């Protein structure tokens, strides 16, 4: 039986495509293993959602774009990671490695190259991350979610595949969504998502301006872990959750407008559902700027608006939401031009084809 190894981690976005492809590989008769870090989110997600998968732990260092003494230590961590990954790959003997990126993936891709295991890598963001830039030297192909990403990559190695969104995305139940929120079906719904860690600044602005927001919307507020505020528990037309997992599709089914971070996976889900979006990307103080690029790209295509978090004010927030409401039909029309591309089965079979 053929086998595929998967790697990628550090953020949810570096795992989500793998979570879609692994069940596909198993359905197609392939054995699967995963190589990741000891304490990364990838381990938590894989072991909780796919507990029967062999998970191999390797050492991994952080790839920094600035000078730091930690970089010296991390060189040795990466070297050890290559050794760890070689051991795991020799034990598992996969036919293909699929890498979703993140710093943990680099040692695995290098190890795979040293063992002549063909590697396919995937880039979700508009501009390639440092890990994938390094990994590309050792890989056969890189797939992109944004077509505009191709301009940053060698023509002979890069293919545009679009976003592979989860199959249950469109299965949300509106009735269930209204039951969860106790909202009125006759009034629009605004969903606020500040990412897995939440955004204290965004949370404060939303709560301080609830009265103004509720002139137009009922508000679902995903605050992030530990950021609920019990003072608002009895607020009519407002419901807050730290995060939502299984019920998110039901909440999306009743959502008219979304305020969100600009991670690639999330914004392509909103696009697929044709939900106009106001994007508040992570700033350069918290990221390499990938979400800023993603947000600008979507704004340029007419899918919504964006506000940098460092300039976010209540005035801007209300103004941009009002503009989205005024242009709702135009935005949805622009979104309708977007065509979903590769299903998870299409993508899986492309991986098999390109690896051979």
Q: In what order do the strands lie in the sheet with 96-99?
A: 54-57, 31-36, 3-7, 96-99, 119-123, 141-144, 158-160
Distance CA 81, CA 108 (A): 7
Token code pair at residue 39? 């304490």
Does 328 appear as a known binding residue? Answer: no
Does 334 appear as a known binding residue? Answer: no
Q: Are strands 277-279 and 257-260 parallel, antiparallel or unpaired?
A: parallel
* Residue appearing with tokens 């390499």: 288
Does 287 appear as a known binding residue? Answer: no
Q: Are strands 158-160 and 304-306 parallel, antiparallel or unpaired?
A: unpaired
* Residue appearing with tokens 């079906």: 185
Can you say which residues are annotated as belonging to the binding site for UDP-N-acetyl-alpha-D-glucosamine?
166, 196, 291
């Amino acid at each position: 039986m053929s086998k595929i190894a998967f790697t990628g981690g550090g953020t949810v976005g570096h795992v989500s495509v793998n979570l879609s492809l692994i069940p596909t590989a198993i359905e197609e008769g392939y054995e699967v293993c995963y190589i990741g870090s000891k304490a990364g989110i990838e381990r938590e997600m894989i072991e909780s959602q796919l507990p029967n998968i062999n998970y191999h732990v390797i050492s991994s260092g952080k790839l920094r774009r600035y000078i730091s003494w930690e970089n010296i230590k991390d060189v040795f961590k990466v070297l050890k990671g290559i050794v760890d990954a070689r051991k795991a790959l020799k034990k598992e003997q996969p036919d293909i490695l699929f890498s979703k990126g993140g710093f943990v993936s680099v040692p695995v891709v290098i190890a795979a190259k040293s063992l002549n295991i063909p590697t396919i890598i995937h880039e979700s963001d508009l501009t390639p991350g440092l890990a994938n830039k390094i990994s590309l030297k050792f890989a056969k192909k890189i797939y992109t979610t944004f077509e505009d990403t191709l301009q940053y990559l060698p023509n002979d190695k890069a293919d545009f595949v679009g976003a592979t969104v989860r199959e249950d995305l469109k299965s949300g139940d509106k009735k269930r969504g209204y039951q969860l929120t106790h909202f009125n079906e006759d009034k629009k719904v605004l969903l606020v998502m500040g990412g897995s860690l939440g955004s204290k600044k965004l949370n404060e602005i939303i709560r301080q301006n609830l009265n103004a927001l509720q002139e137009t919307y009922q508000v679902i507020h995903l605050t992030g872990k530990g950021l609920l505020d019990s003072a608002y528990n009895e607020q009519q037309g407002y419901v807050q959750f730290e995060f939502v997992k299984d019920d998110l599709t039901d909440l999306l089914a009743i959502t008219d407008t979304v305020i969100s971070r600009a991670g690639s996976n999330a914004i392509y889900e909103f696009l697929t559902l044709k939900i106009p979006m106001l994007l508040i990307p992570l700033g350069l103080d918290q990221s390499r700027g990938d979400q800023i690029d993603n947000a600008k790209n979507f704004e340029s295509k007419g899918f919504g608006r964006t506000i940098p978090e460092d300039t976010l004010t209540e005035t801007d927030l209300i103004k941009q939401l009002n503009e989205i409401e005024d242009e709702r039909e135009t935005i949805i029309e622009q979104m309708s031009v977007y065509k979903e591309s590769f299903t998870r089965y299409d993508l899986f079979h492309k991986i098999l084809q390109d690896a051979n």
